[in-house]
Chains A and B, each alone.
Chain A
């Protein structure tokens, strides 16, 4: 019998050309191969997108978002031309104008402002990946009111990491995937390091290492975790301190590591009457002292050859000084942190807390990893091997977006450090140019001089009260009140407070709100409905309370309708970008790397990359640094800036292919006109490997320090030790106790004294008060689907088929209590408001927690979706339940719904109650459709660009 089958082409041409650039379907910044085919008109069209195998971030793999990029660049929601508002704000009525007209208008608004009161411009960027550039622009303009979105994202994680050990997770550090034997993942925001974490989990599972998930919700990474701890939201810090308690009690501490590489041996002033109480004993040069075990005498912490002593108490000028480790023992040996004491609150039984602690202890101390790699530390000790304790951790917004998130993240880093599991094999590893301690970062600047630049960078890491951004009368200098006594360490600013404060004129009124890529009238604001009102509110004269709003976005988002002038941005495949070492780099633990985007296709609309527009606007405004010698534009576009900007001698936005005296070189060098071409030829990125002997112990390792100087991360070796005891926090406490000339307002003293503890503490989320709020017993969370990025996914025809609906997921206990059944709706109420939404049952969930997918709900009329799209009819936001202010206190004041230390938006502190509801016609609250500046999309798609 013969069998015949068709002949098929097994080797079709894949594409006409492959262009390699950097993805921007989320914040991960993977390398992509964009396959192009020639269209009938001769123009290149995107046929297929895949991961770039050579790229350090994703090594060839690509997530759903990345592969769906083709539907993003074709999305009907793309803005087409600059727009000027013609109807009332919020109506969505616009006329298209030319770029010249748009830029003249912006110049006419902003130029007089700069000459008189530059602080009246508030320039805030959202999920911006060009902050080193946008901040430079804002600094040249002279306003103190600049930040990106970190304040409502994960500043707690970043700030706690920087203050404790010179870096946190994601852009700062990663587990040692090659060696770790136990990976413990605390609540996470999926798009932060998404592909690397998936790759890492796959890699360690393949070799049988253990994955532990600590998260109220068992989806995604937690679904594949070998052990899951369904913790109650906001109590991660308490669980971590209980683990620390057990490890202290059992002496499972890496004492050598603590003595040498942390400030555990530094000496704390114990005299309550001393103005130095709680500060570290220092020598005349201001260097903290330790007792050298070789001599028994004090020595500067970094003196050559010393062995810091963890045990000895020292009396100096009649004052007892004790090593930091003793203070830690006093605190963490307390039975307050015993598993039995924290079990109810955390929702984790005491036996399971002990199990987790003992598994961590066993892995760290019984499964030690030794690499045969000699290295020399900054005190001149040569070590023949590198020794690691293979327990690694990762966390992001899940623990960060609480009002106790800073101390929780500090607690997590403390746990890592007492195990000796940071910058050691199998633990966590930093990614160059991190680690970099808080003292090596700038301090915040806020001094305004009309017509002049700001006196320095806006954002930074205060070391004490004297570094706050206050006016001469002690009021907040910034519109968001960042770096004020209310939120002293708000290292990323507080974007979530800008509109509310500007509307209230507190601390002052502004003139122009200039936003980029931030959907503030919808999913990026707390109190969404209130925010819409603030944006449209008028004063008695009929003028808008926030007089002018300029907005740049690539898409027809909900925010567009609320601006007066729209500057349409390009999509990610149509633009230049640099993912710079000056900013949020893409490095790996073993390599320093940066990357670009470049226009792999040309825009088919009258749109411009926002950064190029800022170059133009900077020139029109005459901003220093944006005007060339011939008084023309210094940078004709962003590509020109990327190539030619010099930040400090030898250092520019990109570190690869810089011009040296004898030719091209890495790190330092002058500008090279061919630099972008070199990046393009290399796949859109540059990478240089960390030398082997410098690969671990980076802050303490002389070889690393020397290499870092050579690469230009800093200009001289800057070894440091981890700050278990965070002295800057203690300085704020001292001020609150009445010490020094910089004094907080009285009403904030108790809070600063209680919460700015130099050793990690746990306190209940602020909104809870001191106890579980009986009226609102349920925690409500959002999390981001792996296949969607904030509001962006719904405009993508492929991705919205994966996540077009977002029911409220309800755990079994609450489901049964309310007798819910499939298809039911519920009214969910917080102290701030109510929503009525569809519910679904989910068992793999903390029993007191409900949750939904983030930002699936859309406003009718936005994103070029049909008004009947499920995202607009059944979709919903929890934002309506969250206010940017907490309920009034006894004195009538309303504090920001933020971490009192960093100002991080406390999204996940939300408490609700829930009851069954009759099914409404659509999710409540519902808003009328907004008129869109773009047409609706086609009904049928069959996107084949080849023949």
Chain B
């Protein structure tokens, strides 16, 4: 069993806007690209060109249909990766100490040289956010691009997770959720950001912003005047036109 560190003041994490996520998978592949080349073992793919292709991804987008009681069905795109929980069961369950939560910023990582590939952490994670790499037989998970966010070799504006940098719709935000004044905390406060499955008691750091209500009919009484006919006479349009034009530049 592995201990969690004392609670850090800095809680780095993601805020994901479900109102804007179009489900394009840009974050999924950008993550795959960066983390194949960088931290730890590459994210491998099995049967890559075959009948059952299956690879390691640290971030996946799921899509759910929602059928409201009234009105049209909706589709919600739901990107999911490690939520860097404050009470991370994946860490406490680890028999070797390979899974750990960083003191400085709360990022949950796997020290691959100590990982025996037992898979207990993946069982313990209620979010299904960890994936065993079949080729390397070590547990892989979102690192919050720990090798980008402090990386002196990157321009400062690029020191964000690969998924955040690439998201075309701007649906992914990165920052310190431990600081109530940070942009991400403000966003969570303004938009009613929520925890994923709070009943699990894991206290996830990542937050989701809910989709805004869809298909809301506006008050027809307010809108009706905008379509009030200018005339009720069959040939009245030209008369209206004459009148309307006289009010314009050059009009008599």
> Using a CB–CB distance below 8 Å, which chain A residues touch chain B?
3, 5-6, 8-14, 47-51, 53, 58, 60-68, 70, 76, 194-195, 198-199, 201-203, 205-206, 218-221, 223-228, 230, 246, 248-252, 255-256, 259, 293-294, 307, 309-311, 325-326, 329, 333, 351-352, 354-355, 357-359, 361-362, 365, 786-787, 795, 797-802, 804, 812, 842-845, 864-866, 868-870, 873, 936-946
Known: A63-B168, A293-B250, A294-B250. A12 touches B226 (CB 8 A): no
Q: Which residues of A contact B102 (CB under 8 A)?
A: 5
Q: Which residues of B contact A6 (CB under 8 A)?
A: 100, 111, 114
Contact A198 B24 (CB under 8 A): yes
Known: A62-B30, A199-B168, A939-B46. A10 touches B22 (CB 8 A): no
Contact B50 A801 (CB under 8 A): no
Contact A944 B28 (CB under 8 A): no
Contact B48 A787 (CB under 8 A): no
Please name the residue on chain A nearest to B171 by beta carbon.
A202
Residue B146 is within 8 A (CB to CB) of chain A in the complex = yes
Contact A64 B25 (CB under 8 A): yes
Contact A804 B153 (CB under 8 A): no
Contact B223 A359 (CB under 8 A): yes
Q: When each residue 10-39 of chain B gets 1 if its CB lies under 8 Å from chain A and 0 otherwise, what string results?
A: 000000000111111110111011101111
Q: Give, as a whole number of angstroms, the nearest-CB distance from B249 to chain A.
A: 7
Q: What separation, in Å, do the CA atoms of A481 and B90 have in the docked complex? A: 66
Residue B77 is within 8 A (CB to CB) of chain A in the complex = yes
Q: Which of B212-252 contact A (CB under 8 A)?
A: 212, 214-218, 220, 223-224, 226-230, 237-238, 240-242, 244-245, 248-251
Residue B1 is within 8 A (CB to CB) of chain A in the complex = no
Residue B69 is within 8 A (CB to CB) of chain A in the complex = no
Known: A67-B33, A223-B74, A357-B227. A10 touches B147 (CB 8 A): yes
5 CB-based A-B contacts, threshold 8 Å: A11-B152, A195-B168, A220-B24, A787-B25, A942-B45
Q: Give, as a whole number of angstroms, the nearest-CB distance from B20 to chain A.
A: 5
Please name the residue on chain B nearest to A323 by beta carbon.
B241
Q: What separation, in Å, do the CA atoms of A941 and B55 have in the docked complex? A: 9
Contact A799 B171 (CB under 8 A): no
Extra pairs beyond A203-B170, A230-B72 (17, CB < 8 Å): A6-B100, A10-B146, A11-B151, A12-B38, A50-B165, A60-B165, A62-B26, A201-B169, A219-B75, A227-B215, A256-B249, A293-B250, A358-B227, A865-B49, A940-B44, A941-B45, A943-B37
Partner of A220, one of B22, B44, B45, B165: B22
A-B contact count (CB 8 A): 290
Q: What separation, in Å, do the CA atoms of A944 and B55 have in the docked complex? A: 14
Please name the residue on chain A nearest to B38 by beta carbon.
A12
Partner of B241, one of A10, A311, A864: A311
Q: What separation, in Å, do the CA atoms of A343 and B182 have in the docked complex? A: 49
Residue B76 is within 8 A (CB to CB) of chain A in the complex = yes
Q: What separation, in Å, do the CA atoms of A869 and B153 have in the docked complex? A: 41
Residue B3 is within 8 A (CB to CB) of chain A in the complex = yes
Q: Which residues of A contact B151 (CB under 8 A)?
A: 10-12, 14
Contact A221 B22 (CB under 8 A): yes
Please name the residue on chain A nearest to B133 by beta carbon.
A942
Contact A226 B248 (CB under 8 A): no
Contact B245 A310 (CB under 8 A): yes
Contact B46 A940 (CB under 8 A): yes
Q: Which residues of B contact A358 (CB under 8 A)?
A: 223-224, 226-227
Contact A942 B217 (CB under 8 A): no
Q: Which residues of B contact A843 (CB under 8 A)?
A: 65, 67, 73
Q: What separation, in Å, do the CA atoms of A734 and B237 have in the docked complex? A: 28
Known: A202-B169, A230-B72. A310 touches B220 (CB 8 A): no
Residue B5 is within 8 A (CB to CB) of chain A in the complex = yes
Q: Which residues of A contact B230 (CB under 8 A)?
A: 249-251
Q: Which residues of A contact B44 (CB under 8 A)?
A: 940-942
Q: Which residues of A contact B33 (CB under 8 A)?
A: 48-49, 67-68, 70
Instruction: Name, among B170, B218, B251, the residue most crowded by chain A CB atoms within 10 Å (CB to CB).
Output: B170
Q: What separation, in Å, do the CA atoms of A224 and B24 have in the docked complex? A: 12
Q: Which residues of B contact A12 (CB under 8 A)?
A: 38, 147, 151, 153
Please name the residue on chain A nearest to B31 by beta carbon.
A67
Q: Which of B98-113 contact A (CB under 8 A)?
A: 100, 102-103, 109, 111
Q: Which residues of A contact B154 (CB under 8 A)?
A: 14
Contact B28 A64 (CB under 8 A): yes
Q: What separation, in Å, do the CA atoms of A716 and B13 have in the docked complex? A: 56
Residue B150 is within 8 A (CB to CB) of chain A in the complex = yes
Q: What separation, in Å, do the CA atoms of A778 and B103 have in the docked complex? A: 59
Q: Give, as a whole number of angstroms, the nearest-CB distance from B13 to chain A.
A: 17
Q: What separation, in Å, do the CA atoms of A134 and B44 have in the docked complex? A: 40
Residue B199 is within 8 A (CB to CB) of chain A in the complex = no
- 5 A-B pairs with the lowest CB-CB distances in the bound complex, closest first: A843-B73, A198-B168, A202-B170, A307-B250, A937-B49
Known: A252-B226, A942-B136. A797 touches B53 (CB 8 A): yes
Partner of B21, one of A14, A224, A225, A249: A224
Contact B50 A939 (CB under 8 A): yes
Residue B54 is within 8 A (CB to CB) of chain A in the complex = yes
Q: Which residues of B contact A939 (CB under 8 A)?
A: 46-48, 50
Q: Which residues of B contact A221 (CB under 8 A)?
A: 22
Partner of B248, one of A67, A256, A355: A256
Residue B157 is within 8 A (CB to CB) of chain A in the complex = yes
Q: Give, as a whole number of angstroms, the nearest-CB distance from B21 to chain A.
A: 7
Contact A943 B23 (CB under 8 A): no
Contact B24 A786 (CB under 8 A): yes
Q: Give, as a whole number of angstroms, the nearest-CB distance from B219 to chain A.
A: 10
Instruction: Name, among B111, B169, B237, B240, the residue most crowded by chain A CB atoms within 10 Å (CB to CB).
Output: B169
